[in-house]
A and B are shown apart, each in its own frame.
Chain A
Amino acid sequence: MKVLQIKNIEKSYGSNNVLKDISLSVDMGEVVSIIGPSGSGKSTLLRCATLLTEMDSGELIYLDECAVKNDEKGKAVYADKAELKKVRGIFGLVFQNFNLFPHYSVMKNLVDPQMTVLGRSKEAAEKKAVELLDKMGLSEKADFYPCMLSGGQQQRVAIARALAMDPTILFFDEPTSALDPELTGEVLKVIKQLAEEKMTMVIVTHEMAFARAVSNRVIFMDGGVIVEQGEPEEVFGNPQAERTKQFLRNYQS
């Protein structure tokens, strides 16, 4: 079953054509990594898919909910508010710089969205939060405020907060790029664990070894197009396109 279908997305900033006719679909339980040089449009693709940025043209479908479709002129038309609200409930996004709510404790960061958005009871929300914090190895941090945590801990809280909303698919935009090298491991570990549990994920990352180990499919993007995609062993072990080879060479050294 397809969780996400992106069809022919186009996005320009002025004359800068950032996404050029990108199509991509993600199956239930699939882990897709997106790699590529800086400025290739990876974040823009994720932002279009998560409705943070408006695409110029293209279609966006989650499960059987159509969020965006084209009109006759090929211009993107967004669904109405109620429909988009439903769609937003299907996905979650983990940001590079966490974006936790600094005025809320770790517990409240996880509980407030559940109560405010999903209408869960305090007890149900707290139960869920406790489970997730436990899973993230952060049980004893429930009453801390984000500013009291390391970057790695904050990012794990952000992942827990996203998971608390029971998303069907979870996006990550360079989840470890803002972290000190010694802290990336703890975050990658929990993502890996989610992959083992068959959580559907799309991960933009510069961690090649991680992408290779965790994904079912790797997508290499450059210049706003998908240059190459396939199983990690194919893309990393035997890249076809010259640009992919060059990119990976730069990473190996």
Chain B
Amino acid sequence: MSLLTMITKMAEGLGNTCAIFFLTLLFSLPLGMVIAFLRMSKSKIISNFTRVIIAILRGTPLMLQLIAVTYGPYYLFGISISRNKLIPVVIAFAINYAAYFAEIYRSGIESMPVGQYEAAEILGYSKVQTFFRVILPQVAKRIMPSITNEVVTLVKDTSMAFTVSYQEMFTIGKQIANSQTSFVPFVVAGAFYFIFNAIVDYVMGKVEKSMDYYE
């Protein structure tokens, strides 16, 4: 197989890689906020329960979670595994990343000086108005470097979908490597991830810069 054929075949898988990447962000960023609020709940039961869930999600391999979500329904309930593995893959990724984002959000929210809440309260902002108009924009700026880190990690983590044979770029590369007994596909995969992350870095840099107008 020529190098060009390899690259073309793997590039076809990039669409699926991007699907995992963007869908994961789409669901995990807001879900993380929900989890962060449950974690900060005044109810001890809710906050402790959430803490345990977060600990499990962060304390076990994503690979294991992928397998659990993809094959778990079959082993537990005999539900047949759907052809389209994108759904379980995205569910596993989104939940896992939401746990990480939740902790980032929480630390960001907790780092806000109490004076910002008090100023808003005195002016008459409601709790919801305070959160969206005063707290969230400032938290976004504070946590953006940590978010960037997670997004960069996510690019590389998409390769883990190969454990459930989802046809993304790395899975295809691995299949080619096996059938051709060649190391080249791995080099190609590395190059793809590197370029992908260069773009992510550029975009996140722009986002961070757009928040630089104040200290």
Residues of A within 8 A of B (CB): 50-52, 85, 88-89, 91-93, 95, 97, 99-103, 112-113, 116-118, 145-147, 161-162, 165
Q: How large is the interface on B (under 10, 10 to 19, 20 to 34, 35 or more residues)?
A: 10 to 19
B103-150 contacts to A, CB under 8 A, are: 113, 115-116, 118-119, 121-125, 129, 133-134, 137-138, 141
A116: chain B residues at CB < 8 Å are 125, 129, 133
Residue of B nearest to A51 (CB): B121
A88 to B127, CA, bound (A): 14
- B213 within 8 Å of A by Cβ? yes
A113 to B126, CA, bound (A): 11
**Pairwise interchain contact A102-B125, C-beta atoms closer than 8 A:** no
**Distance (whole angstroms) from the CB of B198 to the closest CB of chain A:** 29
- B214 within 8 Å of A by Cβ? yes
State which of B124, B129, B133, B214 has its C-beta within 8 Å of the C-beta of A102: B214
**Distance (whole angstroms) from the CB of A77 to the closest CB of chain B:** 20
B141: chain A residues at CB < 8 Å are 103
Residues of B within 8 A of A (CB): 113, 115-116, 118-119, 121-125, 129, 133-134, 137-138, 141, 213-215
**Pairwise interchain contact B118-A52, C-beta atoms closer than 8 A:** yes
Q: What are 5 A-B pairs at a CB distance below 8 A?
A: A88-B121, A100-B119, A116-B133, A117-B125, A145-B215
A99: chain B residues at CB < 8 Å are 113, 115-116, 118-119
A51 to B119, CA, bound (A): 12
A146 to B119, CA, bound (A): 15
A145: chain B residues at CB < 8 Å are 213-215
A239 to B91, CA, bound (A): 73
B129: chain A residues at CB < 8 Å are 116-117
**Pairwise interchain contact B119-A101, C-beta atoms closer than 8 A:** yes
Task: Kindly count the residue-residue contacts between A and B in the assembled complex, taking CB atoms under 8 Å apart.
Answer: 57
A97: chain B residues at CB < 8 Å are 115
**Distance (whole angstroms) from the CB of B109 to the closest CB of chain A:** 15
A52: chain B residues at CB < 8 Å are 118, 121-122
A103: chain B residues at CB < 8 Å are 137-138, 141, 214
B137: chain A residues at CB < 8 Å are 103
Further pairs besides A92-B122, A95-B115, A103-B214: 17, Cβ < 8 Å: A50-B122, A52-B122, A85-B124, A89-B124, A93-B122, A97-B115, A101-B116, A101-B119, A102-B138, A112-B133, A113-B124, A117-B125, A117-B129, A146-B214, A147-B215, A161-B123, A162-B122
Residue of A nearest to B116 (CB): A99
A147 to B123, CA, bound (A): 21
**Pairwise interchain contact A165-B214, C-beta atoms closer than 8 A:** no
Most chain-A CB neighbours within 10 Å: which of B122, B124, B138? B122
**Distance (whole angstroms) from the CB of B159 to the closest CB of chain A:** 37
**Pairwise interchain contact B119-A95, C-beta atoms closer than 8 A:** yes
**Pairwise interchain contact A102-B215, C-beta atoms closer than 8 A:** yes
**Distance (whole angstroms) from the CB of B136 to the closest CB of chain A:** 10
Most chain-A CB neighbours within 10 Å: which of B115, B119, B121, B125? B119
**Pairwise interchain contact B118-A165, C-beta atoms closer than 8 A:** no
A146 to B134, CA, bound (A): 14
A85 to B123, CA, bound (A): 10
A2 to B113, CA, bound (A): 34
**Pairwise interchain contact A113-B118, C-beta atoms closer than 8 A:** no
**Pairwise interchain contact B123-A165, C-beta atoms closer than 8 A:** yes
**Distance (whole angstroms) from the CB of A194 to the closest CB of chain B:** 17
